[in-house]
Structures are given as structure tokens and as C-alpha cells.
A and B are shown apart, each in its own frame.
Chain A
Amino acid sequence: MIRIDSNSSNPIYEQIYSEFVRLIVSRVLKPNEKIPSVRELASTLRINPNTIVKGYKLLEMDNYIRSEQGKGYFVNKRDESLSTYMKRIELNLKESIKSMRLIKMTDSEIVDFIKNLLKGDEGYDKS
């Protein structure tokens, strides 16, 4: 379920973070579902428990999960996790817009560019 690439330049705790974000926003992990304990994940992935904790803390800080004393970590309600996710997308888009402005693209050119991208993306879910 969780894939870790030890050759990636991203630190492992960040990979754990983004893997869980992927599973949570795509609804593979449902709201209020319990996620693997630090111990379980550490031994299945053969990764230092402290690294897992670091990833989980990051997820908790960004409201994707919550920890319940003595019970473990649980997926948060959908609106909570989505708000951080949308903020992240917004940031990425702003970054991209900045790059486009750099080569003097106008607003309408940017909009057209994105529209074209949307047309080309067959996996785009119109619902």
C-alpha cells in the first residue's frame, strides 16, 4: 500500500507523508479509519520507527490524521484533509503561474494553456 523509494532524493519521512496524502485524498483510506501503527509500518517497511513518527507528525500537523491517546492514528474528516490539500495545490499553481509570467504569458494565454491541458487529460474526472 505504501511505496518507498530509497533512491529518491526525497527523505523517507516525506515519502511516507505524500503516500498517505495520496491514499487519504483518493479515499482509499476513509475518514476515521485507523492507519497502521508506527510499529506495524516500521516493521513492514523495515524503516526506523522514528522516521515513521516524523512522517505521521507531519500528517498530523497538516490535519490529515489525528492521534488518539493510546489508540493510534486515525484519518480526519474529509473537509479537514482537503483544506490542506487544496492549499498545497494553490501554492503549486501560483508557482506555475509565476513561471508562465516569467516568459510574458498573458492571463488569457495562461487560461487557454490550462484549458488545453484539461482537454488533453483523458483521466480527468469531470464529476
Chain B
Amino acid sequence: MIRVEGLNKWFRDFNVLKDINITANTGQIYGLVGSNGCGKTTLLKHIIQIYKGDSGSIYYKDTQIKEESPEIEKFYYIQDDLFFPYGYNLDMLFKYESKLYKNMSVEKYEKLLKFFNIDRKAKLTTLSKGQKKQAAFIIAVSAKPEVLLLDEVVDGLDAVVKRKFWNVLINEVMERNVTVIISSHDLKEIDNICDKVGIMHEGRIIKEEKMDILKEEVKRVQFAIEEEYKEIKSDKYQIIKTQKIGSVYFGIIKGDVDIFRKDLNEKYTLLIFDELSMDLEEIFITELGGAGYGKEEFIS
């Protein structure tokens, strides 16, 4: 289990991380999502101790993690902008990293090389963006870490490789109970994969929740009534947004959808009522809309 408690970070007078509290349980896939420049990468770099927070603490299995903690060797971080030592190929990198990570497995390395089909003798700097990501992932999994921190790791991978990537990751989680924290701006990609999601905005975690609860909390509805609809107020649910297209109303509801339906039925002549679930992208936009992000309209 990884726990970040009250983490704050200032870059000069810019408050990049504001009182961050998150918990990723062992064997969980934790999705870190957020607007551009919201601090996802900075947060990951704190967990792996590349950065030191101004206040707050990070725990792994209830042990506080510091720069010199031996626990750090059980973590593996794949950063977004990869850089490799000059002139290195994958075999050389594997040898080099074997000195840093005690659990590095040749067997796993060979298996993954075959699976991903990466040229072990090619200079890493000459590889494409997607190939570099695969190379880094091969090394990361071969190191058999207990915690995998993945920053935008599926970005730049084609559909076939993405599938292979998830295949390996799911295997690792199931086989070895790896804890994964994965950041991504491609929300479709991590929807249905994550156990838990942390939504970040301007240096803050504005929402942290288990995925299944998150999906139960907010629902999309569409309905048609004979009369003109006027907003209903209730403490059982909250209507975040309604929009009328033709004679059909589209709404986003937080809370008890069944009671909303009942209320509608009592007040109006309800013709149709459909409840739809939201995908992570829609939940994200709704949550950030609540935080005042993305509400502007572009006027040309």
C-alpha cells in the first residue's frame, strides 16, 4: 500500500502540489488523471523520491519513505520523457539496471523481448517513441518491482502494442500483486482497468474514489415530458446539468437517480426516461466542470 499524506510542494512561488492525500492499495491499479500541467508527473516523482516535498509524507506499507529508504528499490518508475545512456542498446541497459535492481530476472526479460518483438541490439536512441516505451516497460517488468509508477506509458503506442502492454500489466498485478499507479490523459484507455481513480486539478486531488463507486455516483439520464421542465431541488440528488435537444432533456445526475425519476413522474407526465452510465472521460469533465475548468466557450 502506498499512501501520500498532506504533500505540499512549491517551485519557488508556485504551489505545484497542494495538500495531496492519496492511497493505492496493494495489488490495485490506481489511475491518476488530470488536466494538463496539473501536477501528475510531479506527484509521481515525489513518490519515487526524485523530488522532496516541502511538507507531508509518503508511506509504503506503513513505513515512511525517504530518499535513502531501501524500499525505493522495490519501486520502478517509467517517466514520460525517456532518455537512455548514449550508445546503449537494450541488452546493455538490462545489464546496467541489473546492478540497481536485485530482482532483475533474465528469464522474464527474454520472455518479454520475444513478446514485444524489440531489437535488443538496436541503439535505444534510434528507436521510435513507441519502441522506447516498450523497451522501458520490458526493463521495468523484468525488475519485478512491488510498485510500478507509470507516467503516460501508453501514450504513443499503437493499438496492438497497447493490448500487449495491458496483457502484461494485468498478469503482473494478478501474479505478483503489484501495486500500479498509472497516469494518463487518455481516459478511454484506463477506463475499466483501474480499481481506483484520483482526479487532479491545479495541484490538488479534487476527487479520489473507487471506480465502481464513481460510476454509481454520477449518471447520465435522458427524458421527455409533456410539460415544460423546471429544475427540481432535492437533497437526495443533484442535477448538475440539463440540456434540451428537440423535446428530449439530457441531464447529469449525482445521487439517487431512482428518486429523481419518481419525482419527475409525480410532477410531470413522463414519456421516456433512460439511465445511461458515464465513462471515465465524462466523469472527469463533470468533476472538473465542478472545479470551474473547461466551462469557457470559444468564441471566434
Does A36 belong to the interface (CB within 8 Å)?
Answer: no
Number of interface residues of B (CB under 8 A): 24
Beta-carbon contacts under 8 Å, B191-205 to A: 191-195
- On whether the beta carbons of B170 and A43 are closer than 8 Å, the reply is yes
Which chain A residues lie closer than 8 Å to B64 at the CB level? none
CA distance A43 to B115 in the complex (A): 15
Contact with A along B52-75 (1 / 0, CB 8 A): 000000000000000000000000
Which chain A residues lie closer than 8 Å to B174 at the CB level? 38-39, 42, 49
Which chain A residues lie closer than 8 Å to B194 at the CB level? 48
Which chain B residues lie closer than 8 Å to A10 at the CB level? 277
CA distance A48 to B275 in the complex (A): 23
Which chain B residues lie closer than 8 Å to A43 at the CB level? 166-167, 170-171
Which chain B residues lie closer than 8 Å to A46 at the CB level? 163, 166, 192-193
Nearest CB to that of A39 among chain B residues?
A: B174
Known: A39-B170, A42-B170. A48 touches B279 (CB 8 A): no
- On whether the beta carbons of B276 and A48 are closer than 8 Å, the reply is no
Known: A39-B174, A48-B29. A9 touches B276 (CB 8 A): yes
Does B113 belong to the interface (CB within 8 Å)?
Answer: no
Does B215 belong to the interface (CB within 8 Å)?
Answer: yes
Does A59 belong to the interface (CB within 8 Å)?
Answer: no
Does A50 belong to the interface (CB within 8 Å)?
Answer: yes
Partner of A9, one of B163, B167, B193, B275: B275
Does A110 belong to the interface (CB within 8 Å)?
Answer: no
State the A residues within 8 Å of B (CB).
6-12, 38-39, 42-43, 46-51
